[in-house]
Structure 1
Amino acid sequence: MLASDWLNTKDRFAPSAELFRSDRDFTVWAYTISHSQLLLRTRTPELNGNRSTRIDIVFKPVRTMKVRIEYSGLVIRCATEVEAARIRAENSGLHDDAHCLVLETGLDQDYVIAHAVGWEEDTESDRDPSKLAGFAPGSDPNRIFR
């Protein structure tokens, strides 16, 4: 069975709780200001005649973020109380109801502060539209990358 989940209630975001883990490589695929959506995606290369699955991770609405373009393996976890306080201090004017999420790859850490995060693994191509995020026609990754 392919994995999917959508986390948008406070009870799903306990401090330091691991939410997602994958050894796959992820790329920042799209970000839209209008809907404050960040889409991370795996590529779907063919291996021995079979295409690998695609994993989409969507954060929305994003209040602030510090991300890199590519992640070689990815762990998403809730920030500890100390990490969240430090990250919030670096970013003034944030609402306290958004969740502070840490993105780890190797020894490096980034973060996204958002109200919800979800992921879906499917058998679509990396050029097909995401099932989790709607993008305006001018910013639709499917139209941009074709």
Structure 2
Amino acid sequence: MERIIIDGDACPVTDDIIRIVENTGISVLIIRSVNHFSLAEYPDYVSTIYVDHGVDSADFRIVKLTTGEDIVVTQDYGLASLLLNKAQHVIHHKGYEYTTQNIEQLLTQRHISAQVRQQGGRTKGPKKLTQQDHDIFSNFLKQLIKK
């Protein structure tokens, strides 16, 4: 495993990831839009790349940079589907891995929700992450790294 790439515009577990990989030799690469610029200081094993604020700029850069040794963390189902055959692992911040078995259902649900919103309906947004959610993700990532 070479590194963990984070789709960093809205990743609620960035600090968890940085803490978990400390002293493992695994580097962390955060890809963010310039709209999400941060002055946060990170350890030497963490780097950040900022991309233009275009709709899919971060996604395109992540796809371009990902190798077969990387773990990518994203909540974007579309991006995850593009990376399934490219990255070693593509995972969600809720502590599960995207697979060829679950990605179709996730994309279908996303499409249905988009249709509802286009017709003026409302859909529920994601719930705020709880400490239990952080613990689930952290345990999942630690197990993945041990493999």
Same structural fold, with TM-score higher than 0.5 when normalized by the shorter chain = no
TM-score where L is the length of structure 1: 0.24
TM-score where L is the length of structure 2: 0.24
Query: If each structure's strand is expressed as a fraction of its own residues, which one has the higher value?
Result: 1
Which has the bigger relative contact order, CA under 8 A and spacing at least 6?
1
